[in-house]
C-alpha cells in the first residue's frame, strides 16, 4: 500500500496538475488556432523534445499500435468531438469516463475486479448513459470513442510495453502521429497568427504532451492500468 501511495504522489498527482492546466490553456489557444492544429503542434514539439532527450526512438509494431491507440485515434476523435459538439465541456467529461472502460476491458481479459470496482463500473456506465441521453450528439459519440481508445491504449501499454525506454517510446509515438493528425487539419481550419498564442502553444505542448504523458505512462507502469486510470479522475475538467 505504501508503494502505491508513493507512486500515486510521484506520478498521478503532478499529472493532475499539468493536465488540469492544459484545459484552460487549450481553451485560450483555440480562439486563435484550430484544435487539430493544436494537436499537431503538441506531438511535433513532443517528438523533438523526446528525441533529443532520448537520443533515438523505439520502433516496432507494438510501439505503433500503442501510438495508434494513445495518440492518433485518441487525439483525432477528441478534437472531432470538440468540433462537432455544441458543448465541448461535455466531450471532455466523456473522455474521462476512460477508467470505466479500463475496468470493463480488464474484466473481460480475465483480470479480477473487486466488488467495489464492479459497483463503480455499473455506476459509471449509468452516469455515461444518462449524460449521453440528456444531450446526445455526434461530438459526444466521438468523445466516447476517444475515451475507449485511450482505455485500450492504457491497457496495451501496461501489458506489452512497460519494459521499453519510455522517452524513446514517446519519441516514436509523437513522431509517427504527426502525418496522421496533419491529414485532419483541414477540418474547421483556422490559424490567426500572434506571438502570444504561439508561446502558449509551446507551453501547452510541454505540459500536456511531454510532461503529461511522461507522468501518465510512468504511473501506468508502476500502478497498473486500473489504479492509474482511477487517479486520472483527479484531473479538473
b/e sequence 20-38, b meaning 16+ C-beta within 10 Å: ebbbebbeebbebbbbbbb
Query: pLDDT at position 235, please?
Result: 72
Query: pLDDT at position 95, please?
Result: 84
Ordered mean pLDDT values, 10 residues apiece, the chain (237 residues): 78 90 86 91 95 92 97 91 76 82 88 70 63 70 92 96 94 96 89 89 94 94 86 70
Query: pLDDT at position 153, please?
Result: 96
Q: Quick one: cell of 105?
A: 476491458
CB neighbour list of residue 192: distance below 8 Å, 6 or more residues apart? 32, 33
Query: pLDDT at position 1, please?
Result: 62
Q: What is the pTM of this model?
A: 0.89
Amino acid at each position: 500500500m505504501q508503494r502505491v501511495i508513493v507512486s500515486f504522489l510521484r506520478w498521478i498527482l503532478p499529472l493532475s496538475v499539468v493536465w488540469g492546466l492544459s484545459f484552460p490553456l487549450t481553451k485560450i489557444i483555440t480562439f486563435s488556432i484550430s484544435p487539430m492544429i493544436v494537436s499537431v503542434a503538441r506531438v511535433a514539439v513532443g517528438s523533438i523534445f523526446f528525441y533529443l532527450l532520448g537520443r533515438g526512438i523505439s520502433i516496432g509494431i507494438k510501439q505503433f499500435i500503442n501510438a495508434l491507440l494513445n495518440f492518433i485515434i485518441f487525439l483525432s476523435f477528441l478534437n472531432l468531438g470538440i468540433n462537432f459538439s455544441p458543448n465541448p465541456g461535455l466531450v471532455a467529461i466523456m473522455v474521462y469516463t476512460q477508467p470505466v472502460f479500463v475496468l470493463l476491458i480488464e474484466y473481460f481479459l480475465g483480470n479480477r475486479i473487486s466488488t467495489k470496482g464492479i459497483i463503480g463500473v455499473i455506476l459509471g456506465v449509468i452516469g455515461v448513459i444518462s449524460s449521453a441521453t440528456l444531450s446526445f450528439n455526434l461530438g459526444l459519440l466521438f468523445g466516447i470513442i476517444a475515451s475507449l481508445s485511450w482505455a485500450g491504449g492504457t491497457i496495451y501499454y501496461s501489458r506489452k510495453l512497460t519494459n521499453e525506454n519510455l522517452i524513446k517510446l514517446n519519441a516514436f509515438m509523437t513522431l509517427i502521429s504527426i502525418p496522421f493528425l496533419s491529414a485532419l487539419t483541414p477540418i474547421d481550419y483556422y490559424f490567426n497568427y500572434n506571438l502570444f498564442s504561439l508561446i502558449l502553444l509551446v507551453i501547452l505542448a510541454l505540459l500536456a504532451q511531454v510532461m503529461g504523458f511522461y507522468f501518465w505512462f510512468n504511473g501506468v507502469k508502476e500502478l497498473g492500468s486500473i489504479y492509474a486510470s482511477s487517479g486520472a479522475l483527479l484531473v479538473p475538467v
